[in-house]
Structure 1
Amino acid sequence: MTRSHVDFAKCVDALFSKFSGPEMPGAVVAVTENGREIFASAYGLANINDDVPMGRKTIIRIGSQSKQFTVLLILMLEAEGKLSLQDDVQKHLPYVPRLEHPVTLRQLASNTSGYRDFLAAMFVSGRSIYTPSDRQTIREIIARQDSLNFKPGSAMIYSNSGFFMLYEIIEQIEGATFDEVLRNRITGPLGMCDTSLMLHDGSVMKRLAAHYTKRADGWAQLGWGVEEDGGGGIVSTLDDMVVWQQNLNNPKVGTAEMYQRMATPCVFDNGATGLYGLGLVTDVYRGRRTVGHGGSVAGGKSQSMRFIDDGLGIVIIANNDQVAAFAAARRIADIYFGTVAPAQIELAPGRYRQEGGPDVFELVAKNGVPTFLSSGGVTAFDFGHPGGAKPERGITDLVLSPRPDGKIDGTFCGTPRVYAPLGADAKATASLTGRYTNKAQALEVEIQSDAQRGVLRLRSDFGAMNAPIVAADSDLWFLLQPDSDLPWTATLIVTEEGFEMNTDWVKKLRFTRV
């Protein structure tokens, strides 16, 4: 460590200073060095209404960090001969559709299955994530899917569907609830007494933090209506997550071989190595290997990151959606190692579209620094990544670099792409006005539009959506979400039969003109 502990603490405190003011939710942070805690602090309030401060034992949602616990349970069951990661999904879950290609449990656990994310699939079926939805609703959403995002093993797109399926398999094999299995096999033996599965936002629990979402008029508590599962439903505390991180380093529960498998990145069909392993993410930051996972839920963010060759461990759990936990963990590492930010790569502002494909992103200069926007959100760039600029998200396989002709070269899961600028005054070559259907998923759409803008009305058994659309290219439209700060939520690509809808996590959702 290149700084004194006092200087290090002051610098870390500065990263979270805006959450130390009155009536602010906050975060808890711990930093360890070779297993010894060198920093820990709590910022802001666990409950604004009652002026309750955050603390080491405040219980907070950890979101998708839950996935590593689910995968460990799967590996434990495999070690006992109760399943194999090479099993087809349908061996355990007959309701899951067999689509273009077979899918294995390994592919579920590595986000390489191609199954559409059920949360995104709910949205494009007109059901708000805030609408109460039980487990059977999720099963039906998955069962109705009519296509994979890609051939399994050829790419990686985040899919909560895969971990929901693993969660169901664990309960089915063990004949017990996930929470009981988690407690008996992992949290109980480790003494992680405050770590459990919390199925619903709004549950009552002692020391449970309120979770806050930033709105234009201030903070709000907007819990999701969907029933949580082993992919994102675990709550924990700073103390417990430090114990868990230490267990990954020196296993008392599970084995070193299991954690090595979890931290081994997937290899795509084209031979390129990804970053997602089995419930853990392996990356290289400023030349140093990292292993960890983050989480994002309604009013919550989290990150666990270990610099495995350097003995540095970082845990962040926030009870609000304004803490960029992944980036904050990296900034803590920068402070610890004394590293300097690399020179920025000049990427011209504007919107860019994948040549021959549906993907679109926007580059915006914020304080002179390029920022990445897509239907998945807004993020800064890591300009020190090998090969170019990489959006500073916990899980993305996209890397960008500028070309002299104004286009941008990209690499996605080892496959080269080219992105071309989109014109500012886009007009479609034809109106989308008409009625459309996706019969397999019982989706009905009506669109009224001219060559530049229109309205999409979607109806299904699960819900409804009325949303504006605007032309972005001759055959490309943006679907907007009025209450979102994103520039668009999905793209609509005109086809001979009708149109195809794409989001970050749902691809090739086809609608046929009636």
Structure 2
Amino acid sequence: MVPSPYNPGTMLTLGAALVLFPLAFVGAGQEDAPGVSATQRRSIEELFRVDAGPRRPGYAFGVVVGGRLVLAGGSGYADLGTGRLIGPATPFRLASASKQFTAACALLLIEEGELREEQTIGSVLPGFEGLNPAPTVSDLIHHTSGIRDYLDLHWLRGEEETFTPTESLALLARQRSLAFAPESAYAYSNSNYFLLGAIVGKVSGSSLARFARAGIFDPLGMKATRFVDDHRETPRDAARGYWRGADGWEIYETELDHVGDGGLYSTIEDLARWAANFSDPRLGSGSGFLERELSAPPLRDGRSNTYAFGLAVEPLADGSRLISHGGSFAGYRSAFAYHDASQTAAIVLANFPAARTEELAESALAVLGVRLERVAVPDIDPAGRAPVGVRRGPSALAGSYRCSELDTTWELEAKGSAIAVRVDGTPLVEFKPDRRGTGYRARDYPGMRLVPLAEDSFAVWSRYLGRLEFRRIP
């Protein structure tokens, strides 16, 4: 059985036996590529050896120094069926590393005066006028909106890959509460960038895919990069996503057509062009665009937020910054890491779930002499507390309950001291009693609780979901 694309439970552990598949390098045949010594090149090459086997998925990787792609290669297979190898020109699904491009599109519209950061979501997207307090475009960009992740909401409805972007928009528009008040905390939510992508399409009168093509990819020469909002149009030469099942490697991909939070395909060669824009800014107003792209407003209480425009901007001990974002969805992993002082970027793409792309990108930077000594930053995650519950045993809670914000019914069944939840007859999650005896904790989902409120209701709560209420169906 192939796991859900957003179920983090299935991870492959690489064995000790290693084999290096054929590698292609920019500047191959040179002992020293510009900015990279032969010793450093060999050390970086060693990072991307993959587990031994007849055919295995693997990595594409690249190093950019001063705006130049000085080292690039691939190990493993893009397609196990055809034997096509991975190389610097192989397109990969970037997953959440797509967010930096969605944010850049929004910033282009902001610079053009077509969009304002202080605009509320409801002033742009019909159906979102009911949220109070109302999150703004800035809240979406910097993950301070309090809007729940649509992937979590669909999962709570018992849905995995059976929903469309239109259905996700409708589900988000049903929300009348937030996980926390806007700008009071930070919580990474795919909904923020899914909605931001929809806003870019609405304001531009086009679509995110077309606007990104005209505003970013064409100007930077990123010819192989595009948002795919119809899975039937996935690039034919893209790396296939895999996971390791009981019988060996299996296809592990998604048919979701959501873009903004993900959905971008790109290559090492194209992402090197994107990295070069950090050294020599060419988009929008140039250096002014880049400065704004790497900034984030503080929270209402003054605490700093390091999530800028689709990029984490982390201060380092020597005064420099690490600018980065990773991605993880289905069988794809990605990492983009840029060190501003040395103008050095490491980019890693992979097509299997256990790939440690972010760790490997930082390791490649370390090989090149970049010191990543991070500075402590304040905790800005939501600090909410679970609602106070009443003591009710599993038998008393058994029955059918409806949540209006989810537009779904949960069936609760007593299972000894635990509670089993079903949706449309299919098992969803199991809760076990907490130590205080006034609530239940979800098995396998740390932080999620079921809290009885009265005879006819309960709440499902976590710091990132906030409070979702269910009422008994008579």
Q: Distance in 2 between matches of 1:477 and 1:326?
A: 35
Tell me, in whole angstroms, the C-alpha distance in 1 between the residues paired with 2:63 and 2:254: 30
Q: Of 394, 407, 413, which aligns to 2:380? A: 413
> Residues 108 and 162 of structure 1 are in contact (CA less than 8 Å); yes or no, is this contact kept in structure 2?
yes
1: CA distance, partners of 2:165 / 2:187:
23
CA contact (8 A) 2:335 2:357 kept: yes
> 1:201, 1:223 within 8 Å by CA — same for their partners in 2?
no
How far off is 1:239 after superposition? 0.3
Residues 232-271 of structure 1 correspond to what in structure 2 (within 5 A)?
232-254=262-284, 255-271=286-302
Structure 1 match to 2:228: 198
Contact 1:213 1:321 in 2 (8 A): yes
Shift of 1:21: 4.6
Equivalent in the alignment of 1:174 = 204
Task: Report the alpha carbon displacement of residue 115 of structure 1 after superposing the two structures with TM.
Answer: 0.8
1:233/1:22 CA distance change after superposition, 3 Å: same
Instruction: Provide the secondary structure at the position in 2 that maps to 1:496.
Output: strand
1:506 maps to: 465
1:479 corresponds to which of 442, 458, 464:
442
Deviations 1:453-507 (A, max 9, x none): 2311134xxx965333333433443434xxxxxx336622324234332457423
Task: Give the Cα separation in 1 of the matches to 2:250 and 2:126.
Answer: 40
Does the alignment pair 1:293 with 2:325?
yes
1:90 aligns with 2:122: yes
Q: Distance in 1 between matches of 2:112 and 2:177?
A: 33
In the aligned structure 2, how far is the partner of 1:25 from the partner of 1:201? 21
Change (3 A) 1:199 1:490: farther
Q: In 1, distance between residues paired with 2:379 and 2:188?
A: 13
Higher relative contact order (CA 8 A, sep 6+): 2
Given the alignment, which residue of 275, 288, 308 partners 1:277? 308
Secondary structure of 1:181 counterpart:
helix
1:147 aligns with 2:199: no
Alpha-carbon distance in structure 1 between the residues aligned to 2:66 and 2:241:
32
Normalized per residue, the structure richer in strand is: 1
- Measure how far apart 1:151 and its partner are: 0.5
**Aligned partners of 1:303 and 1:317 also within 8 Å:** yes
- What's the % identity of the aligned pairs? 25
Pair 1:465–1:296, CA change in 2 (3 A): same
TM-score by length of 1: 0.76
User: In the superposition, relative to structure 1, how do residues 279 and 475 fare at CA in structure 2: closer, same or farther (>3 Å)?
Assistant: same
Alignment partner of 1:127 is 2:89: no
Q: CA deviation at 1:286?
A: 6.2
| 1:447 match: secondary structure | strand
Q: Equivalents in 2 of 1:495, 1:249: separation in Å?
A: 55
State the shift of 1:172 in Å.
1.9
Shift of 1:203: 3.8
d(CA) in 1 for partners of 2:432, 2:317:
40
Q: Is contact 2:139–2:182 with CA below 8 Å preserved after alignment?
A: yes
- The ranges of structure 1 where at least 4 consecutive aligned residues each deviate by more than 4 angstroms after the TM superposition are 285-288, 384-387, 414-418
Distance 1:440 1:228 in 2: 21
Task: Give the CA deviation at 1:200.
Answer: 4.0
Residues 431-440 or 185-194, more deviating = 431-440
Q: Name the SS for the 1:276 alignment partner.
A: coil
Q: Aligned pairs, how many?
A: 428
Q: CA RMSD in A?
A: 2.8
Residue 11 of structure 1 and its aligned partner are, at CA, apart by: 2.4
State the Cα distance separating 1:13 from its structure 2 match. 2.6
Match of 1:224 in 2: 254
Using a 3 Å threshold, how does the CA distance of structure 1 residues 312 and 145 change in structure 2: closer, same or farther? same
Q: Is 1:325 aligned with 2:357?
A: yes
User: 1:433 is matched with which residue: 395, 398, 405?
Assistant: 398
Deviation at 1:173, TM superposition (A): 2.4
**Matching residue of 2:10:** none
Matched, 1:161 2:191: yes
Alignment partners' CA distance in 2, 1:6 and 1:476: 60
Work out whether residues 106 and 278 of structure 1, in 8 Å CA contact, stay in contact via their aligned partners in 2. Answer: no
Residue matched to 1:467: 429
Counterparts in 2 of 1:318-357, with a 5 A limit? 318-337=350-369
Contact 1:300 1:319 in 2 (8 A): yes
2:433 aligned partner, one-letter code: A
Over residues 401-454 of structure 1, what are the superposed CA-to-partner deviations in whole Å (9 max), with x where a residue is unaligned?
xxxxxxxxxx63078899xxxxxxxxx973243432213432222212256323
- The alpha-carbon deviation at position 205 of structure 1 amounts to 2.6
Question: TM-score, length-normalised on structure 2?
Answer: 0.82
Spell out, residue by residue over 1:224-267, the C-alpha distance to the aligned partner (whole angstroms, 9 max, x if none). 23212122011011100000111122112232222222211341
- Per-residue CA shift, 1:299-320, capped at 9, x if unaligned? 1111111111122211111122
Consecutive unaligned residues of structure 2, counting only runs of 5 or more, are 1-31, 386-390
The DSSP-based 3-state class of the residue aligned with 1:337 is coil
Give the distance between the partners of 2:247 and 2:226, measured in 1 at CA: 33
